[in-house]
Chain A
Amino acid sequence: DGGITQSPKYLFRKEGQNVTLSCEQNLNHDAMYWYRQDPGQGLRLIYYSQIVNDFQKGDIAEGYSVSREKKESFPLTVTSAQKNPTAFYLCASRPLGGRSGANVLTFGAGSRLTVL
């Protein structure tokens, strides 16, 4: 039950504050993803990265930012511009190319953000 670690598990934020969610993996996976999970809306892609120092917007990137300075790390910043940030955030990773397990997402345990 390891490999990809998210922290913190629970986070409370006041309106107008930026917060950063951590995601670290020791699986040597190339690609990393951030999803937002809301009841009845499934998993919606925020950002993803397939290589260090490169990342792409997903379907709901507005109000979020990411960085990929190391292969192991893909932190997500929820900015004050995100209008409805209260949600459950899931980080995931997977190998690419012909490597074993390519296309299988490994998820973290998630971070629940509540804006007060």
Chain B
Amino acid sequence: GENVEQHPSTLSVQEGDSAVIKCTYSDSASNYFPWYKQELGKRPQLIIDIRSNVGEKKDQRIAVTLNKTAKHFSLHITETQPEDSAVYFCAAGRLGNQFYFGTGTSLTVIP
């Protein structure tokens, strides 16, 4: 099966700075890479996803990049705000099948 590794496990940034979370995957057949955000005490929610036919995708302050050759993908958050504080999970899998999640990154944005 797929093996997803995620780093770092914890990340603290000053408000306004950028945050980067990195994930690697093992199955070259994986073609779908979502990112979920889980705020404290709440359920995980999809914030952005990318398919293997695209190298980068942006949505306002967040972006995801994918390097299929190296089998890694990253989440970039610019101009961080306190409400970005949460646990972020990357995942990898094949469209239509189950996903495999990384171990999560706890992001703290310091005002």
Contact = CB atoms under 8 A, between A and B. Distances in A.
Interface of A: 33, 35, 40-45, 48, 58-59, 90, 96-97, 102-105, 107-110
Interface residues of B, number: 22
A43 B98 contact: no
A42 B103 contact: yes
B12 interface: no
B102 A45 contact: no
A97 B96 contact: yes
Nearest to B91: A43
B45 interface: yes
A44 B91 CA distance: 11
A103 B96 contact: yes
Contacts of A104: 34, 46, 49
Nearest to B100: A45
Contacts of B42: 109
25 contacts: A41-B103, A42-B6, A42-B89, A42-B103, A43-B89, A43-B101, A43-B104, A44-B101, A45-B100, A59-B1, A90-B43, A90-B44, A97-B96, A103-B96, A104-B34, A104-B46, A104-B49, A105-B34, A105-B99, A107-B43, A107-B44, A107-B45, A108-B43, A109-B42, A109-B43
